[in-house]
Structure 1
Amino acid sequence: MSQTAIPFLFMRGGTSRGPYLNRADLPEDLETLAEVLIAMVGSGHPLNIDGIGGGAAVTSKVAMLSRSADGWADVDYFFAQVSVEDRLVDFKPTCGNILSGVGPAAIEMGLVPVQDGETPVNIRAVNTEARVAAMVQTPGGQVSYEGDTRIDGVPGTSAPVALQFMETVGGVTGAFLPTGNLVDVIDGVEVTCMDVAMPMIIARAESLGLTGYESAAELDENADFFARMEALRIKAGALMGMGDVSSSVTPKFGVLAPATKGGTIATRYFMPWKTHPTMAVTGAQCLAACVLTPGTVADGLAAKPNVTPAPITLEHASGTIDVLVDYAQAENGFTIKSAGLVRTARKLVQGSVFVPAGTWGGH
């Protein structure tokens, strides 16, 4: 046989898209797994012409699911970011948008028993050890993808998937503030390095010569900005204890500016070598935490809610995203307890995806 068939669901999760696979149907060792995912997505061509990727970072993502041995979780979610052109796979980060489809996919795969009405799915994000409680709409014992919930960056409406993110602080670096500082100065730019759901470097847009209101296309054309940002990111990654991050998509980068559309604050998020067309779910949590934490680069840019949980609305390149942050503030510090978001997902294709047998011959 010249090709190996692998069962898959192809789903939109939030504002991202990709294959959802059963981990048991894939090679165990990461080196072979990476080659399989590269072949599957078609990495190595700007259009992913020889695979099912969409030629963009938000459409070359992979979710791998399995029943969890964790006492709390129902399903383990292992994420892979496959590069569009460089034939690279990064297993370090997680993705909250793709996670939006994990609950529905786990039920569709038979990994989680369905209930009538709504089905709770507890998810362990393997890459970062975050725990996420998802609530999936399952009227009549079937996953529903139809509803009235709208998210910016996706046309139309769908059934809501409620997500509650827990234990997200320090998932990658082991610390809320990996450098130990609320603000660091790198190459003359003030930044906050923070690890909540996703390790990030966050700066004021004006400190990098931006307004913070540019479109994603305008930012992607700004080669000087990206060169400066990447230099900052590499130096900050080392300060955060992450080593050489030049070939890793983490830490991510974000910029802040005062809100102009009724939100809490204006944001732009980078993946990091392209501008995110909307906003990452994980990045939204980190940016919201930065807004709420006294003494960060966000100080003075936004009016902070004085309630908890605190509603934070982030303006992004395609609209807004709402994050509800449960936090505690005391004399001995600031603690993020959990963050809640509502996203949507939709099953697009179900069947088999094929990779060359020379890449992997199957089990």
Structure 2
Amino acid sequence: MKHTIKATWMRGGTSKCWVFERSELDVPGFTTDEVLLRLFGSPDPRQIDGVGGGSSTTSKAVILGPSDEPGIDVEYTFAQVGIDQAVVDWGSNCGNCSAVIAPYALKRGWVEPEDGILTVRIRNTNTGQILIERMNLDGSEAEAFIPGVPFPGQAVDIGFLDPAGATTGALFPDGKELSTLSVEDEDPRTRSDITATLIDAGAPVVIIDAQTAGLGTADFRQWPTACTAEMPRLERIRRAGAVAMGLAKTEEDAQRAIPKLAIVAPAESGSDADIKVMMLSMGAPHPALAITGSVALTLGAHHPGTLIAQQLASAPDGELRLQTPAGLITTWQRQIDGQLAVGTSRTARELADATLSFDPAGERTENPAVILAQGTGLDEQQLEPDPPPHGRRTVFASVAAFAVLGLGATLVGGGLLNPPATTADGDYAGETLEVVIPLAEGGGTDTWARFVGQELVHDIPGEPGFAPINDAGGEGITGSNRFASSAADDGTELLVSTATTVVPWVLDRHVVKYSFEDLEPVLVNGTGGVIYARTAAGVKSTRDLIDRKKPLVFGGISATGLDLTTLVAFDLLEADITATFGFEGRGPVNLALQRGEVDIDYSTTSSYHSAVEPIAKEGSATVLMSFGQLDEHGEVVRDPNFPDAPTVVEVYKDLHGKEPSGPKLEAYKTLLGLTYTYQKGLWAPKDAPEEAVDLLRDSAHELSGDEEFNKKAAEVLGGYPIVADENLSQRVKDAYTVTDETKGYVTALLKDSYGIELD
């Protein structure tokens, strides 16, 4: 029997969340966890049969209601709903989703504005924290923009009331504004002293300066990547801070989530910012700034003896302007009704009112992972948060794996009757294939890896389980480094590669600690792409790329990632181009082009039909050329997905009346092979058993010839075949061999044309 549940879909800050009133989730016979998992369509990386968005920022729930407690208007609980695992995390709050509380309470009539100002007092039940939210409804401050969201929303000021000491009982847990930590060196027999501020407000945070973090000479824009090489030492500092703050008895016992680590440096002269800051969360650079962490930084800035205060040019005037990797974030500190409040501003917008269908029959018959989850009898108080990457196991996931694999093993005296599983005996029975994806959930690489992995395991003899693991950070370098240093060498762990991780290795960046020479390819897959331009910028054909009065502006993410192939193409063509880097993805660049902020961009095949084709048809953009593909002889030929688009090489001949040649052409062909023809791959450690690698590769080759698979793969793979034949190793080795001449040319191009010196 189906059950209907009313909900409201809202964006809060840079997250999206489903908002439920508490009574709506009371379904007889089911726990709240089970209801949320079924509604969101979990476990499933696409959440295709539910309302989840397939990423950590869009698989969130807010459960709320009016409060009976005097002085509190609304109580709410935040839930992070698992995506590929049947688990709900109740252990934290989400500052972004908190922004929806005041607008929702106003809509429901639980609170009333006074003189055009709405003030709502809120208790978060996850943490016990009291929040005060304020909305100006008179029109002057009703809508605003925030970094990371392309459209405006209702401005909501979010203040944490008396946040000091919520976890440890004191603002400065060791009683000092400036502390000395004894931190283990790379050689564990020695230790070094470092200076830090240990502060507890909103969340416990260890604050160090950029010099201590090993980032003193790095450009701030490169911090998220540059810190990769320092990550083991930074983690040791964080753990030493946990002990000093009383959060752990030993450094080994320190939790992964708290304390957080913040790295600060003085703002540049003339900048709008007061300070530069990057926060590490769960072992990776935070893309912006955790709101709870910003509370600690703000309070610390108001205490002259702290490390952050010492980095400021002047004392804060009630507001603190923090330069983060995502942009400028402003926090404030003020008195509200005689109590200290620290906070920032977010925006919120209602997206839809909905009636959701909860289908118990479907829950119990179609999803074995959730069936077993229901049978455990666990409630949300018993659930554990996800452990760190490379070892994720939850009650739900573990039990589900046994069901899916059909092991039916009998436990006797603490051992299994069945013999131990192995990968070198001709099948993978009893194993789980972990695929490490070094980029965030929801992107093109993540979608590719989950699709290919799910299909591949069905062709592997023994049909192992499949566990995709996102280990994001540092443009894919962080997770790749971690894989290289700690992956199991038995063939049960594979690494996903993409242009984002291949190019930094090719360029010998010092932050890269992995090498594709130490990995064995299991399969590779290519893609294609086009270069297109804004028609209003005066671009109607490829002839408009040269002899311009004003250069075209290219919107880039990182010059040392996939963008590099495009930059080399521009240089080969002698196009009049300048560039601006720092966009968070091709989607934001596409929007910037449509707004007239940049003039020229590129798109891979997977996003061409949704992002480029519509604006080309309406005449606001012109498709100029495709990148092409490398044939078996290493020559550039037309992309079968863009048969009418000339290649970069063809455009050169048309513009200059001759065939291209020399280092620029060789560099272009090299990068084309690395970043497009062989763009993505699955790799095993070099020391993995030869029998296991051969089995995986043979299974992938069999999959590549499966008609049913290729039909399903048409959209995800864009028609580009999986390659896993007997010549794969040599083919990839040839493609990944980059001459010193090409490296020298690329290095000079980045330095001379874009002011980027490789580290």
Residue of structure 2 equivalent to 1:337:
340
Q: Which residue among 218, 226, 234 is the counterpart of 2:225?
A: 218
1:96 pairs with 2:95: yes
* CA spacing shift, 1:153–1:87, aligned 2, 3 Å: same
- Structure 2 matches for 1:64-103, cutoff 5 A? 64-82=63-81, 87-103=86-102
Shift of 1:303: 2.1
Cα separation, 2, equivalents of 1:313 and 1:326:
15
SS in 1 for 2:310: coil
Residue of structure 1 equivalent to 2:152:
157
Q: Is the 8 A contact 1:161 1:344 kept in 2?
A: yes
1:177 pairs with 2:172: yes
Cα separation, 1, equivalents of 2:237 and 2:37:
29
Residue of structure 1 equivalent to 2:329:
321
1:264 pairs with 2:274: yes
Q: Is the 8 A contact 1:147 1:157 kept in 2?
A: no
Q: Structure 2: which 5+ residue stretches go unaligned?
A: 185-191, 365-369, 376-759
Larger Rg: 2
Deviation per residue, 1:296-324 (Å, 9 max, x gap): 232432124265xx221011112111112
Q: How many residues align?
A: 340
Shift of 1:165: 2.7
Shift of 1:345: 0.5
Q: Is the 8 A contact 1:198 1:282 kept in 2?
A: yes
Residue of structure 2 equivalent to 1:255:
263
* CA spacing shift, 1:205–1:79, aligned 2, 3 Å: farther
Deviation per residue, 1:138-167 (Å, 9 max, x gap): 57xxxx9x9442222211323322333312
Cα separation, 1, equivalents of 2:231 and 2:359:
36
Shift of 1:266: 0.7
Shift of 1:119: 2.9
Deviation per residue, 1:332-352 (Å, 9 max, x gap): xxxx92224332101112213
Q: Is the 8 A contact 2:135 2:142 kept in 1?
A: no
Residue of structure 1 equivalent to 2:13:
14
Shift of 1:64: 1.6
* CA spacing shift, 1:212–1:184, aligned 2, 3 Å: farther
Cα separation, 2, equivalents of 1:252 and 1:155:
28
Pick which of 48-57 and 194-203 moved more: 48-57
Residue of structure 2 equivalent to 1:346:
349
SS in 2 for 1:199: strand
Amino acid across the alignment from 1:218: T
Shift of 1:41: 4.5
Residue of structure 1 equivalent to 2:107:
108
Pick which of 41-50 and 151-160 moved more: 41-50
Pick which of 197-206 and 235-244 moved more: 235-244
SS in 2 for 1:303: coil
Shift of 1:114: 6.6
Shift of 1:208: 2.3
Residue of structure 1 equivalent to 2:312:
302
Residue of structure 1 equivalent to 2:198:
193
* CA spacing shift, 1:209–1:303, aligned 2, 3 Å: same
Amino acid across the alignment from 1:209: G
Shift of 1:292: 2.3
* CA spacing shift, 1:105–1:180, aligned 2, 3 Å: same
* CA spacing shift, 1:355–1:283, aligned 2, 3 Å: farther
Amino acid across the alignment from 1:312: L
SS in 2 for 1:8: strand
1:281 pairs with 2:291: yes
Cα separation, 1, equivalents of 2:282 and 2:225:
15
SS in 2 for 1:105: helix
Residue of structure 2 equivalent to 1:206:
211
Q: Is the 8 A contact 1:82 1:89 kept in 2?
A: yes
Amino acid across the alignment from 1:265: I
Q: Structure 1: which 5+ residue stretches go unaligned?
A: 328-335
Q: Is the 8 A contact 2:136 2:142 kept in 1?
A: no
Shift of 1:168: 1.2
More helix by share: 2
Shift of 1:231: 4.5
SS in 1 for 2:158: strand
Cα separation, 2, equivalents of 1:246 and 1:338:
28
* CA spacing shift, 1:337–1:348, aligned 2, 3 Å: same
Shift of 1:19: 1.6
Residue of structure 2 equivalent to 1:332:
none
- Structure 2 matches for 1:125-136, cutoff 5 A? 125-136=124-135
Q: Is the 8 A contact 1:160 1:344 kept in 2?
A: yes
Deviation per residue, 1:166-219 (Å, 9 max, x gap): 121122222212343432414444332222122222222332223472468637
SS in 1 for 2:307: coil
Cα separation, 2, equivalents of 1:39 and 1:205:
45
Cα separation, 2, equivalents of 1:198 and 1:178:
12
* CA spacing shift, 1:87–1:320, aligned 2, 3 Å: farther
Amino acid across the alignment from 2:18: P
More strand by share: 1
Output the TM-score relative to the length of structure 2: 0.40
Residue of structure 2 equivalent to 1:166:
161
Amino acid across the alignment from 2:332: L
State the identity %. Answer: 30
Deviation per residue, 1:235-292 (Å, 9 max, x gap): 5345434455546x34333221221332111111234344333223222221122222
Output the TM-score relative to the length of structure 1: 0.78
* CA spacing shift, 1:306–1:265, aligned 2, 3 Å: closer
